[in-house]
Structure 1
């Protein structure tokens, strides 16, 4: 990786799934005279506070004599950079080129609007899911871990992976593989240093490989063997790094494991949030509205299967106007299996179920399936004069089900 020219001051985020090594990497980078990273401090909180600091300027600019007094108050264009630097100088005792936060799961929190004078860099650390899930359970509730606890831990690992894949190739983003970092300090020191414009005064020597026992034995030692197949749906414990390196280069996302006979339920409080990739508004009581034109859910099959399936999409509402429904298509891994205009009329709210026969699919563990739903003509009620709802709506989906029809 070649060194690049970056802005004078940058907001640096060190993120990744919890228990992936963010604390150790943040501490290593804080050794540098040019880095000052808060510990798990929300970026949005800081920048919202700065906005509040300069809110009086906005109010007072409306007064006729503002020019006489602007030297007596904080002015955003003049002072925001200096105030930001002063905060980090007060905390860390140094003037750093990279200010920011070490924050696992940062990508899943509300994001701020960054000032124009501030550049941005994100270092994301990815560790194998077997170690991450076990570490999360040890930290929180190992001896009382439930199926839900394990599923939540795995979900947050998958969510972090998919974020990294979505940012792969961006000039301001660097993904670091923990499992490689612990054996190649020098190589990753160069990559991280180059990514940060030639930074050199930090050390990665604290990263050491500590687990030499295979995952199956470690999970057995902790009484968690029953949960290992869930993780093995998405990853091989004996070849994870090689697979992950190839998958990251190919920008392959991962879907949460879907058991046979299990629905993807998009109503509030159900399991749909684990499977949504993009394009749905937050779940409501009756389901989730499609957002704009393209939506998708991802899942990883529990078992290998080749043969026909029945795909059902349970629809609660359709955004209709003058009796016209929405033109939609349904695809599996990019292949269209349904296309029609969907209309409910007086049944809106009581809904309908689309039953779609798919002659043949191939499902495999560790191979993500993408279900895409495209709305070709979303409707915005506010723009159409139908109400205050300013969202681009298509259909509200309650559930999606995939049922095998063969025995292959």
Structure 2
């Protein structure tokens, strides 16, 4: 029996990229007597606050008269569920079976440890990137648009999309396509009702059909036409929804655009984090350490190309033990292009450049490239008695570049 079958109260998250319709969907669901969603309230903040209530319980349990006085202070097993439900009852004036939060970008925030008595479900809403980016920029940067504003807006849309791909197969996850919902309320009402378990007392009538004006005209009216090519690296203006549905069904992630001649700079304060999908520690001044056995970067190259390329890695550190470097495997779209021991020796900290010739490489428009680095045996300095650092380290990378030959 799954957790979903055993809990009578479920934490419900309505998420998605900012400006994707999360507020409207949250408001629609809050019409139900069975749903109570806070407005952009961090899940972790709420459950961390509950944990504070029970911190004294641990101390009191060490006292010999604990059982005698336990009815006079909060006890987690007895009271946590009741207190959590009371918070939502106080705010919403109803006893809801689904409690939670409407929070765009929720997946990218620190996550709590959910109590065992609480189920979990997530509804994610995905809107086309042209409207999302335009809406984000117009809302937050009405006094003047800079390239970084558009790039950040596009990044958060891509980040949200990739989250849907990671979660797509989960029983507790539902992805809603905004561009479909606004024209077919009944179908999405049915899907949401089925997902939540026959909850139907809500309406999606506030969702209105979006403008039929094509993105090129919208961006021209907003004096933002120069930014269209960046978004078109990852999405088609025409019939975006059909392509997105197919990509979702095929579990296709999207990489941030990497324009011709552009480097992926992984140092602190640089923009290389936009390309990291998994497996890197937080950037430092020198670069970013790989985390664990496998690290992956995703990027989308503009245009089309078929031929030879050169991959260049600016490596600053290698986690060496007894003067032995790390066994590293590098693959490009699952094809191994490098396998050797990376050892810097006396150059550790000063760095070196690793150049890899790839004789036969092809990409098509709007196709995502996966760059994976596998460190066969990462080093944990604390475990090896080399210091207090408890991370699983492989190599630290400053920059990565790709060049056509």
TM-score, normalization: structure 2? 0.98
Alignment of 1:166-185 (within 5 A): 166-185=166-185
* Partner in structure 1 of residue 344 of structure 2: 344
3-state SS of 1:142 partner = coil
Count of aligned residue pairs for this structure pair: 402
Alignment of 1:58-137 (within 5 A): 58-137=58-137
1:374-396 CA deviation, whole Å, 9 max, x = no partner? 10111111111111111111000
Q: Which runs of 5+ in 2 are unaligned?
A: none
How far residue 6 of structure 1 moved from its aligned partner, in angstroms, is 6.4
C-alpha separation in 2, matches of 1:231 and 1:99: 36
Alignment of 1:170-209 (within 5 A): 170-209=170-209
* Partner in structure 1 of residue 369 of structure 2: 369
Alignment of 1:8-407 (within 5 A): 8-405=8-405
C-alpha separation in 1, matches of 2:249 and 2:141: 35
C-alpha separation in 2, matches of 1:248 and 1:101: 25
C-alpha separation in 2, matches of 1:33 and 1:327: 57
3-state SS of 1:353 partner = strand
1:287-344 CA deviation, whole Å, 9 max, x = no partner? 1000001101111011211110010111100000111110001110000000001111
C-alpha separation in 1, matches of 2:20 and 2:61: 47
C-alpha separation in 1, matches of 2:60 and 2:352: 56
Q: Which runs of 5+ in 1 are unaligned?
A: none
3-state SS of 2:175 partner = strand
3-state SS of 2:284 partner = coil
C-alpha separation in 1, matches of 2:211 and 2:152: 23
How far residue 210 of structure 1 moved from its aligned partner, in angstroms, is 2.7
- Check the 8 A contact 1:329/1:336 in 2, yes or no: yes
1:76-116 CA deviation, whole Å, 9 max, x = no partner? 00000000000000000000000000000000000000000
How far residue 141 of structure 1 moved from its aligned partner, in angstroms, is 1.1
How far residue 60 of structure 1 moved from its aligned partner, in angstroms, is 1.3
How far residue 62 of structure 1 moved from its aligned partner, in angstroms, is 1.2
- Check the 8 A contact 1:293/1:378 in 2, yes or no: yes
Structure 1 moving runs of 4+ over 6 Å = none
1:112-158 CA deviation, whole Å, 9 max, x = no partner? 00000000000000000000000101111134011000000000000
How far residue 361 of structure 1 moved from its aligned partner, in angstroms, is 1.0
- Check the 8 A contact 1:6/1:197 in 2, yes or no: no
3-state SS of 2:212 partner = coil
- Check the 8 A contact 1:304/1:364 in 2, yes or no: yes
C-alpha separation in 2, matches of 1:226 and 1:343: 44
How far residue 363 of structure 1 moved from its aligned partner, in angstroms, is 2.1
3-state SS of 2:80 partner = helix
